A and B are shown apart, each in its own frame.
Chain A
Amino acid sequence: MLDRGTPFATLPLEIEGRLRHIGDFYLDAQFNKTEERPPIVKIKDQIYYRFMDFLYLPQPPESLSTEQIIEICDLRMEYMDHLVVAAHNEHIVAEAVRCAQAGNDRLVPPIKALDFGCGSGLSSTLLQKYWPGLSLIGVDISEKAVARSREQHLDARLIKPDQRLPFDDATFDLIFAIFVMHFNVGIGALAELRRVLQPGGSFVFNVYQRDIDEVQAQLQDAGFNSSNIEEISGVSKTHRMVRCSVSVPGERLLQM
């Protein structure tokens, strides 16, 4: 069972009364951080899961369809200041950089990195702050997110779900996915990340409210054959940093 808190409590009437129905979701646009919010609630006789404090989803994040994930990304762009806590993002990016550097002592500049699910460009900007000189390309499935990234002069590209990434095999030394893997990107997308990652390179991501065994099973199906999982200081125990990789052929032989 995951850490989703006490389930099935009632949403206070004053909150339910002001919810806005947007697509498949409900949003409490008053953004009052002092109110108690149960994690799983019934709204109009249907069960909803709380996400990013003020959104209610008909499925937990890891069960959303790709179309719904794009809708969430777009909503996140629109209500960025309320839904995204910049300091929290900065902490996670700093940890991701530390984790990536710890596992890659053989990296030689220029280091090519992919920011998978770059969103508004916040993660790319922070990655460059904590790892100056990183040669970074961002990709996202949301047009709005890519446009926002480009406004900040970042190299961001729109990708289509379930399609080949627009990069050659083994293009990147590192791949980051910051606040992405709480969604379920699927084995096909993970296999694409493995294809564009150098053998011996690292795919580093934070993940929360997911069964880590399920995430590892997907990584294995996608061809990643080694992973390192750490708790992250200063956040809940279920929030983890994962660094995984595909062993280079020589290493694989040694392992055998």
Chain B
Amino acid sequence: MLLPDYRIFQDEYSVENLDNKLRQLAQGKYGSAASPVLKALDYAERLYEGKQREKLPLILHPLRVAWLLLELDQYATSKGCIAALLHETLCEQLLTAAEIEQRFGEYVLKLVLSVGDTFYSQRSLFEDEQLKRERWQEIMRSSHEVRSLRTFDDLDTILAWQLLPATSSARPFLPRWLLDVHEKSLPLAHATNIHAYTIMLQVYENLSK
């Protein structure tokens, strides 16, 4: 099986390029059914406008998760792609669950909720380990699309760690985050998508050196 070069996925951080790629990929993959994805893309770009995280546009992460999903998951649906674009809107309080359901339907909301937390924020460092493990087990038992969204969410987060400056105040957390990758993200990727697993393993090994 031909595996992708992971550098392609670690080097792309331009909102404009990602927007263009997503439009092309969605139209190529879904044809006339791509229209809701393109509308969701326009909507997400308006919602995230001007918002930043770590001095980068906040929309970069959802755009990249949607792009990774469309590039690397042959089974991704248009609704899965929409959920990837919206998956930060609940925790950032840009939308409510009711608004997501009303505009994009029950299934998109279900997917957004399924990837609604993250193992790698500073907040999660103090969460109860048992709860985190139960949550991970739940995801391991979930549908392909839930596992896939979570896998690409994790993958993009891990790829972004490579950009952390040596002086970043987040650096000391890296060993703990890498332990979570070993225990949770890598097994999840292995159970879901061989491309994501291969890329994640390379990045994990580089960061662990």
Contacts and interface: CB of A to CB of B under 8 A. Distances in A.
Interface in A1-30: 1-2, 4, 7-8
A1 B141 contact: yes
A186 interface: yes
Nearest to B145: A214
B133 to A, nearest CB: 10
A251 interface: no
A7 B137 contact: yes
Interface stretch (A54-62, A93-101, A104-112, A135-143): A54-62
B1 A63 contact: no
B173 interface: no
Contacts of B75: 62-63, 184, 186-187, 218
B141 A217 contact: no
Contact of A60 (B74, B106, B191): B191
Given A2-B141, A58-B191, A63-B193, A211 B1 contact: no
A49 B191 contact: yes
Central interface residue in A62, A210, A217, by most chain B CB within 10 Å = A217
A184 B74 CA distance: 9
A217 B107 contact: yes
A80 interface: no
Interface in B130-145: 137-138, 140-145
Contacts of B144: 60, 62-63, 184, 211, 214
B174 to A, nearest CB: 23
Q: Contact residue range for chain A?
A: 20 to 34
Contact of A214 (B77, B141, B192): B77
Interface residues of B, number: 32
Given A65-B1, A187-B29, A217 B190 contact: no
B152 to A, nearest CB: 13
B192 A63 contact: yes
B140 A67 contact: no
B194 A217 contact: no
Contact of A7 (B29, B141, B192): B141
B207 interface: no
Interface string B141-156: 1111111100000000
B39 to A, nearest CB: 15
B13 to A, nearest CB: 28
Interface string B57-75: 0000000000000000011
In terms of DSSP, what is the predominant structure of the interface of chain B?
Answer: helix
Contacts of B138: 1
Nearest to B30: A221
B78 interface: yes
A38 interface: no
A4 B141 contact: yes
B79 interface: yes
A187 B25 CA distance: 14
Contacts of A186: 74-75
B187 interface: yes
Contacts of B147: 63
B29 A65 contact: no
B175 to A, nearest CB: 21
Interface in B144-202: 144-148, 187, 190-194
Nearest to B78: A221
B194 A65 contact: yes
Given A58-B190, A187-B30, 17 more contacts: A2-B141, A4-B141, A7-B141, A46-B190, A47-B140, A47-B191, A60-B191, A62-B75, A184-B75, A210-B143, A211-B144, A213-B106, A214-B145, A217-B79, A218-B77, A221-B30, A221-B77
20 contacts: A1-B138, A7-B137, A7-B141, A62-B144, A63-B144, A65-B194, A187-B30, A187-B75, A188-B74, A191-B31, A210-B143, A211-B143, A213-B106, A214-B107, A214-B144, A217-B78, A218-B75, A221-B78, A223-B32, A223-B33
